Amino acid sequence: MRHPIVFLCDFDGTIGLQDVGELVLRRLVFPRLEPAFLEELEANEPGSKFLYTQWYSSAPPSQEDFLELIMQAEIDVGFKELLDLARQQGDQVVIVSDGFDAYIQPLLKRANITGVPVYSNAMRFSPELEVAFPHHNPGCRFCGVCKAAIALQYARRGFYTVYVGDGTSDRFPVHVANKVFAKDTLVHICEEDGIPFDEFSSFRDIVAWYSAGEIKREKSLDLHSKCKSLKDDSLEFLNVERAVSLV
């Protein structure tokens, strides 16, 4: 009997064909901030939680402008194919994003994608813009969402973990995954860190691999040096209930 499989999928630049979070920042936030202020914020290599809080509190976009911009983004159609196939096989697909639910939710809804756990940061216009970090590891300053903890949580439950991503926020969970699909920046990160991976261009590449059924453990569970504190952590800081009910 094989282990159940979970596909842990990044959103920006992976499920979403565009990096929606980057699009919002570059179009609606950064143009309203002084370059010197931006440089000062990034001077000590702070984590995304700190940067997001500073950026959005200093230059919050209007809800109208935000919604108009994000709805220009597109979803990789192969993601729904993977989701449907995984459900048929009794496996799971989970979205792990260091971006925000305020654009993930409407884009998934437009694509008729429901019932997928989503681990992301939170953004609300109520009416002032507010950001929150329900999956932040209080013992770490790097990520808004602790993707490594999410991958570790599924590994502890006996899942064969497949990680699919493209960027710097994916550096930590790929150490935990049994199988890694990478593109763009994550390709170079995996090469630098000695992480075995398959390069992909769309989710149809992952569907083809999954359909072939030749699933083998390509690497054992590991933790990035910056994530070692998770080894004996209960991971209770993850808001699982919120993730399951979000979309």
Q: Which residues contact 20 (CB under 8 A, 6 or more apart)?
A: 11, 12, 70, 73, 99, 103, 104, 107
221, 176 contact by CB (below 8 A): yes
Distance of CA 59 to the CA centre of its chain: 24
Taking the model in full, what pTM does it have?
Answer: 0.95
Q: State the SS3 of 168-230.
A: HHHCCHHHCCCEEEECCHHHHHHHHHCCCCEECCCHHHHHHHHHHCCCCCCCCCCCCHHHHHH
Domain ranges of the chain: 5-18+74-122+135-245, 20-70
Give residue for tokens 């939170």: 122
First and final CA of the chain: distance in angstroms?
31
Angle between the N-to-C axes of helices 101-110 and 63-70, in degrees from 0 to 180, rounded to the nearest 10: 50
Model pLDDT for residues 63-115, shown as the tens digit of each residue: 999 999 999 999 999 999 999 999 999 999 999 999 999 999 999 999 999 99
Give the tens place of pLDDT for each residue, 189-225.
999 999 999 999 999 999 999 999 888 777 778 899 9
197 CB burial (10 A radius; 0-12, 13-18, 19+)? buried
Per the CATH hierarchy, to which homologous superfamily does domain 5-18+74-122+135-245 belong? HAD superfamily/HAD-like (3.40.50.1000)
CB 145 within 8 A of CB 96: yes
pLDDT tens digits, one per residue of 18-68: 999 999 999 999 999 999 999 999 887 788 999 999 999 999 999 999 999
